[in-house]
Amino acid sequence: MQPKKSSAPQAPVAKRDKLDKEAYERLSQFRYRLRCFQRVSEDICQAHGLTSLQYQLLLHVKGAPGREWALIGELAERLQAKHHGVVALVDRCEKAELVKRLPGREDRRQVEVHLCPKGQELVRTLAKLHQPELQGLRAMLDRVEWN
């Protein structure tokens, strides 16, 4: 699975090529804290019988802007995954009674993914358990001077 190209603005090449020691230290610290967050997340998910990817799918359905469901294509973008891979992930989550599919409201060719009660409960529980580590990551980001 290849990540999609970021739409974030890029610094001019000359500026990016001139990294000082502190820039490497900041990047190292950021990657370390991000990996700590991911590791804690993986452990939390595993303890509740989910993979990290399943939790992320539930989170993105719950966190869809302005509604309580998401389209497969939207989930693929959020997960930075290919459409067919997300379909397979939704299949597994549907089999585990975490989500259900419904035909699109405006376009019946699209598929809406909705949380089932079990999925609602798990995403709420897991999101709460992620808060302490998320706060630590946020605090680290607030302390770092990125310029």
Report if residue 124 sits inside a domain.
Answer: yes
Report if residue 6 sits inside a domain.
Answer: no
- E strand or H helix at 74: helix 72-79
Question: Considering Cα of 102, then 104, then 110, then 115, what sign does the dihedral take?
Answer: negative
The total domain count for the chain is 1
**In which residue are the tokens 């804290």 written?**
33
**In which residue are the tokens 């770092």 written?**
144
As beta bridge partners, residue 113 has 70, 101
Question: Mind listing the pLDDT tens digit for each residue in 32-81?
Answer: 989 999 999 999 999 999 999 999 999 999 999 999 999 999 999 999 99
Q: Rounded CA gap, 99 and 120, in Å?
A: 9
> Which residue range is the domain that position 87 belongs to?
21-143
CATH of the domain at 52: 1.10.10.10
The model carries a pTM of 0.82
Question: Mind listing the pLDDT tens digit for each residue in 80-134?
Answer: 999 999 999 999 999 999 999 999 888 888 899 999 999 999 999 999 999 999 9
Report if residue 43 sits inside a domain.
Answer: yes
The answer to whether residues 64 and 70 touch, using CB atoms and an 8 Å cutoff, is yes
